[in-house]
Structure 1
Amino acid sequence: MSANRTIILLSVGHGCVDVYQGSVAALVPFFVAERAYGYAAASGIVLAASLLSSVAQPLFGALTDRRSLPWLLPVSTLLGGLGVALSGLGGSYAMTLVFVAVSGIGVAAYHPESARVARIASGGSHASMGWFSLGGNVGFAAAPLMVTVAVAGDGLHRTPVLVLPALVGSVLCLPVLRTLTGRAASGGAPESAAATGDDRRSFVKLSLAVSCRSVAFMGLSTFVALYARQRTGGGTTAGTVALSVLYLGGAVGTVVGGGLAGRWERVAVVRGAYLVGVLAVAGVVLVPGPALYLCVALASAGLYVPFSLQVTLGQDYLPSRVGTASGITLGLAVSVGGVAAPLIGALADATSLRTALAPLILMPAIS
């Protein structure tokens, strides 16, 4: 199978997995409406998926650095889907947390190995890694619509239908696994780069930037649907549109980031994007009415232009630990922000949602 076809399959499979990261945030308004959860309780659902995922992804990355585990791709895809599919069935808050945590573990297991495989298939191409990252962002963008179609009419007991993308994604992994097996049998290229030239100091700085970026994006993705309803006076549709714009802006930002990296040095592109993100996140918090949607789109693009560039930077900084680098920059980039979500929710319960979102303006500035 050609390298381009492998990247396409991995990209689509990545989307089928990241649907479930987006689904957790997209389900929050339905949990609030149907089960009367407060902001803190609702954000705790995001925390359950994010906390285990953020802790587990570097561990899975270290594991894949020690040995190739391509079978993780279909297995972790199914695990991610099953957790979200069952989340609406548990009547208790505790069972809901358990199911979304299971989904988070599946997502955690997927990212390091898939990024390692994508790097092998692409030969280290920034553009190819950009397309691989785009697949995940498209999955994020599709999540609010998918959740709304599945759940809005008949309630949370319809969440089992959300397992369908996982079934598709796991099947798409199979040709990739056959290709990897064929390369190994024919004595193809090794699966990882030589262990030379680690720049740990730069990688630590990059990881801190990734973490701050994650707090900003996950804070917005958890609460922007509820906030848009307040600021625009709209109903559930207004919130779904805001969340979709947030995720679609990320998809556009990923493509733009790959193009900009072809013209300018990656770190300069990342810095410029984060500066745009500061102004755009401030607009989300402060600008009322329909203009909010434009600010959401710009904030998402500013936070996602660095996305695939940070993945390749991390892999270049730690060439001897590509799995670990991928687990942190690709996985932690999305999940660690969920750890801060309950703090934002608690502040919103005590003050207002606008006040609670204001500190997010600082996150891209620090990045």
Structure 2
Amino acid sequence: MKKLHLLLLTVAHFCVDSYATMLAPVLPLVIERLGLSLAGAGILGTIISLCNISQPLLGMWADHMRRRWLVVGGIGLAAVCTPMMGIAPSYWILITVLCMGGFGVAAFHPQSFSLAGELSGSRRSFGLALFVFGGTLGLGVTPLWVPFFAERIGLEWLPVVGIPGILFLFLVLRFVPLDNPHAATAEAPERARGFNGAARPLALITAVVILRSITALGFSFFLTVLLTHERGLSLVEAGVPLAAYNIAGVVGALVFGYLGDRVSPRPLVCCSLVLSVPALLAFLAIEGPLSYLPLALGGGLLLASNSILVALAQELVPQRSGFASSLPLGFSWGLAGSTLGAVGWFADTYGVTETLNWLALLPLVAATAALFLPARPERATEHSATES
């Protein structure tokens, strides 16, 4: 494991995912400022998520690059464009800057996950869990500082927060090895053979992540609306449980990523999804600070399988690791996010609490699909290598 290189890439992931999740914590301010309905606000989340659907195409393009330029370009677009939402004067300009930032996030992830897997060496699941830790930590702490920044300093100063991302863009470019050895050495026929037989298990992994992510995104996107509109919290106060929800995902991904190198992925994924349901329902049934405990537990269990499923996808098609990474990442999250407009419509019609109650049941369907996940293909490879 190349620790220093992985650390730099992980911090860059922290920056990119901080920009990716910057809208949700200040969504009530954006709704008030532009006079949006919850359905209109949900469409913003859908548009951002739809940008991520481009990740498989970007991943296929990335797998043919001798150097991982999309990592650098993705950081730049996310750092420059997404914070511009603080000075966007209209709904359509807001959509434009969010789209550009969203494409930056989409461009960054396939190659960065592929690179993180290579930098992790033989401890791929744990190394990817550390890399996911950086991104999910960004998701977790952003709801703590962005509302404070917007209320105390001003939403119009938000473009300033792009500076750290630009700084790490240059650090990654200078110190992290961005060469793609597979693109440099693999012949086209070998690449084509590397995908044979993996289509069905990759489709199943993608389906599990989509079903899980509809619930994860629905909770993270509308949580501040629930807490401010229906439970009377201030924007800064509502950032605390959202941060707890996201940070719990960091812990869950690390713990399960560590276990993923030692245990079959199927029981880990199934158990985490099933156990997330009662925790999320308990949060919706309880009010006050006590409810934050089941919310954090539910969020941690819901997001725990992130690195496991990405590692499994990469191991199924190692010669197309950029494409494979994109399926349980941006593509799945993008398709899941395309439902946010519909979720917003249901929230307008039936209330946020009732809508989230139904969303909390969806991980049961994902867990059922996860029962058919394949075994890790490298087990047989490692065994034969040991014997020889």
Structure 1 residue 130 displacement after superposition: 1.0
User: In the aligned structure 2, how far is the partner of 1:199 from the partner of 1:250?
Assistant: 28
1:228 shift after superposition: 2.3
Q: State the partner residue of 2:100.
A: 102
Contact 1:214 1:335 in 2 (8 A): no
By how many angstroms is 1:93 displaced?
0.6
C-alpha contact 1:210 1:332 (8 A) present in aligned 2 = no
2:303 maps to 1:341: no
Offset of residue 332 of structure 1 = 3.1
In 2, the alpha carbon distance for the partners of 1:299 and 1:318 equals 31
Query: Partner of 2:152: helix, strand, or coil?
Result: coil
Give the secondary-structure state (helix, strand or coil) at the position aligned to 1:88. helix
CA distance in 2: counterparts of 1:27 and 1:49, whole angstroms: 15
1:43 counterpart residue number: 42
- CA distance in structure 1 between the aligned counterparts of 2:345 and 2:334, rounded to whole angstroms: 19
Supply the RMSD in Å over aligned alpha carbons. 2.4
Partner of 1:88: 86
Contact kept? 1:73, 1:113, Cα under 8 Å: yes
Indicate whether 1:79 and 2:41 are aligned: no
Letter in 1 for 2:86: G
- The structure 2 residue matched to 1:58, chosen from 41, 56, 59, is 56
Q: Give the % identical residues.
A: 27
Which runs of 5 or more structure 1 residues have no equivalent in the other structure? none
Q: Structure 1, residues 111-155: CA drift from partner, whole Å, max 9, x if none?
A: 001111112222252111111111111111122123123311244
How does the TM-score come out when normalised to structure 1?
Answer: 0.91
* Paired letter, 1:92: S
In the alignment, what sits opposite 2:129? 130
CA distance in 2, matches of 1:23, 1:68: 32
- What TM-score do the two structures reach when normalised by structure 2? 0.86
8 Å Cα contact 2:83/2:158 also seen in 1? yes
11-20 or 142-151, which deviates more: 142-151
8 Å CA contact 1:74–1:169 kept in 2: the answer is no
Is the 8 Å Cα contact of residues 34 and 91 (structure 2) preserved in structure 1?
Answer: no
In structure 2, what is the Cα distance between the partners aligned to 1:114 and 1:58? 14
| Mapping of residues 1-367 of structure 1, within 5 Å | 3-53=2-52, 55-124=53-122, 125-177=124-176, 179-180=177-178, 195-196=193-194, 198-230=197-229, 232-367=231-366
1:102 Cα offset (Å) = 0.7
Structure 2 Cα separation of the partners of residues 291 and 232 of structure 1: 14
One-letter code of the match for 1:364?
Answer: P
Map Cα deviations across residues 157-205 of structure 1 (whole Å, 9 max, x no partner): 122122123213312312344x345x97xx9x95899754642211111
Rounded to whole Å, the distance in 2 between the matches of 1:68 and 1:359 is 46
Q: 1:158 to 1:136 in 2, by over 3 A?
A: same
SS in 2 for 1:152: helix
Unmatched tracts of structure 2, length 5 or more: 367-388
Distance in 2 (CA, whole Å) between partners of 1:329 and 1:169 is 25
In the TM superposition, residue 230 of structure 1 has moved relative to its aligned partner by 4.7
Residue 72 of structure 1, CA deviation: 1.7
- Segments of 4+ moved more than 4 angstroms: 189-195
- Asked if structure 1 preserves the Cα contact closer than 8 Å seen for 2:129 and 2:258, the reply is no
Point out the more displaced range, 240-249 or 326-335: 326-335
Structure 1 Cα separation of the partners of residues 231 and 100 of structure 2: 35
Letter in 2 for 1:365: L
Alignment match, 2:370: none
2:248–2:296: 8 Å Cα contact kept in structure 1?
Answer: yes
Count the aligned residue pairs. Answer: 361
> Per the alignment, do residues 63 and 106 of structure 1 end up closer, same or farther by CA in structure 2, a change over 3 Å counting?
same
